[in-house]
Copies of this chain bind each other. A is one copy, B any other.
Amino acid sequence: MQNTFTNKNLSYGIVEVQDPFWSPYMQLIRNTVIPYQWEALNDRIPDAEPSYAIHNFLVSAGLKQGEFEGMVFQDSDVTKWLEAVGHSLRNYPDPHLEKIADKAIELIAKAQHSNGYINTYYTIKRPGKQWTNLQEAHELYCAGHLIEAAVAYYEGTGKRQLLDVACKLADHIDDVFGIEEGKIRGYDGHQEIELALVKLYKLTNETRYLMLAKFFIDERGTIPNYLLEESKRRGGNSVWHDQPAPFMTSNQLDYHQAHKPVREQEVAVGHAVRAVYMYTAMADLANLTGDRELREACCRLWENIVNKQMYITGGIGSSPHGEAFTFDYDLPNDTVYSETCASIGLIFFANRMLEMERSSGYADILERALYNNVISSMSQDGMHYFYVNPLEVWPEASEKNPGRRHVKAARQKWFGCSCCPPNVSRLLSSLNDYIYTVYPEENKIYTHLFIGSEAEHKLAAGIVQLKQESRLPWEGYTRFEFTLVPEVDFSLFLRIPSWCSGDPVLKINGVAVGFDIQGGYAVVVRQWAKGDILEWEMNIEAKLVESHPKIRANAGKVAIVRGPLVYCLEETDNCSVISSISINRKSNLEVSVDSTLPGNPIVVKAFGRKDQQLSWREDIPYRAVAQRNDSQSVLVNAVPYYLWGNRGVGEMSVWVRAFDCE
Contact = CB atoms under 8 A, between A and B. Distances in A.
Nearest to A318: B401
B662 A547 contact: no
A330 B622 contact: no
Main secondary structure of the interface of A (DSSP, over half): loop
Contacts of A312: 621-622
A536 B583 CA distance: 46
A620 interface: yes
A618 B319 contact: no
Interface stretch (A59-67, A114-122, A417-425, A653-661): A653-661
A551 B582 CA distance: 15
Interface stretch (A17-25, A597-605, A623-631): A623-631
Given A549-B580, A549-B616, A629-B660, A544 B624 contact: yes
A209 B4 CA distance: 88
A320 interface: yes
A403 interface: yes
A183 B335 CA distance: 47
Contact of A625 (B402, B585, B626): B585
Contact of A579 (B319, B332, B555): B555
A59 B397 CA distance: 46
Contacts of A624: 543-546
Contacts of A416: none
Interface string A602-621: 00000000011100101111
A403 to B, nearest CB: 6
A312 B577 CA distance: 20
B335 A622 contact: no
A548 interface: yes
Nearest to A578: B552
Interface string A391-410: 00010110011110000000
B546 A623 contact: yes
A544 B625 CA distance: 6
Contacts of A612: 549
Interface string A267-311: 000000000000000000000000000000000000100111010
Contacts of A438: none
Interface stretch (A42-50, A77-85, A155-163, A321-329): A321-329
A577 B556 contact: no
A320 B618 CA distance: 26
Interface string A334-364: 1100000000000000000000000000000
Interface residues of A, number: 66
Contact of A549 (B401, B577, B619, B627): B577
Contact of A400 (B327, B555, B582, B618): B327
A402 B528 CA distance: 57
A3 interface: no
A611 B321 contact: no
B629 A396 contact: no
Nearest to A326: B401
A621 B549 CA distance: 9
Interface string A528-558: 0000000000000001111111111001101
A154 to B, nearest CB: 40
A272 to B, nearest CB: 14
Contact of A548 (B335, B396, B620): B620
B543 A402 contact: no
B330 A397 contact: yes
28 contacts: A243-B243, A306-B621, A307-B619, A307-B621, A310-B621, A312-B621, A312-B622, A319-B403, A320-B403, A321-B402, A326-B400, A327-B397, A330-B397, A330-B400, A330-B401, A332-B401, A335-B335, A549-B577, A549-B579, A549-B611, A549-B612, A550-B577, A552-B577, A555-B580, A555-B611, A556-B582, A585-B629, A661-B661
Given A327-B397, A543-B625, 10 more contacts: A308-B621, A322-B402, A330-B401, A335-B335, A394-B552, A403-B403, A544-B624, A545-B625, A546-B624, A556-B611
